[in-house]
Amino acid sequence: MVTTDISQLVGECTTWVNTLRSKRSAFTELKEKLQLLSTNLQDKDTLKDLEHLQNQFYIQLINIHDLKHAIKDHERIAHWEKEKKGQLTDATLSAHEDHLYQYEQLMGTLDHVEEEFHRFVHKIN
């Protein structure tokens, strides 16, 4: 997908940022649920799985934050270019493609971590 229209680019960025906000909220809730579930765990393997998930939630929340801010910065640059130069540069269009790739990769990772969480909950219940 090559985006050349600023309104389309902004629309995509807005969609990505809103989805990342939703994922951040969902992951924060899952992290809190994990904390509640962890209170009575004693099995060594289960504790390893717990630690792995805690680390994943920590890392992925940082990744969500970083990508969300990168997309917002990208959107500001696109607006500036359109206003000052009348069009988007090839570098901005390329950056948009890079952000799309990063977004898709992160969504896949987040889905995987969420599946891991649900398997863990099923395992301990």
Q: Output the tens digit of pLDDT for each of the chain's 125 residues.
A: 444 688 899 999 999 999 999 999 999 999 999 999 988 889 999 999 999 999 999 999 999 999 999 999 999 999 999 899 888 999 999 999 999 999 999 999 999 999 999 999 999 98
Looking at the domain assignment, is residue 94 inside a domain? yes
Here the tokens at position 57 are: 């939630």
Looking at the domain assignment, is residue 52 inside a domain? yes
* 82 vs 88: CA distance, rounded Å: 6
* 47 vs 45: CA distance, rounded Å: 5
Give how far Cα 114 sits from Cα of 17, 25, 52, Å: 19, 13, 12
Domain boundaries, position 49? 6-124
Looking at the domain assignment, is residue 1 inside a domain? no
How many contiguous H segments (helices) and E segments (strands) does the chain have?
A: 3, 0
pTM of the model: 0.92
Looking at the domain assignment, is residue 39 inside a domain? yes
Looking at the domain assignment, is residue 21 inside a domain? yes
Looking at the domain assignment, is residue 105 inside a domain? yes
Q: What is the pLDDT of residues 17-48, one digit of tens each?
A: 999 999 999 999 999 999 999 888 899 999 99
Looking at the domain assignment, is residue 96 inside a domain? yes
Q: How many domains would you assign to the chain?
A: 1
Looking at the domain assignment, is residue 110 inside a domain? yes
For 97, what's the count of Cα atoms within 13 Å in the CB-facing half-sphere?
Answer: 9
Asked if 68 contacts 20 with a C-beta cutoff of 8 angstroms, the reply is yes
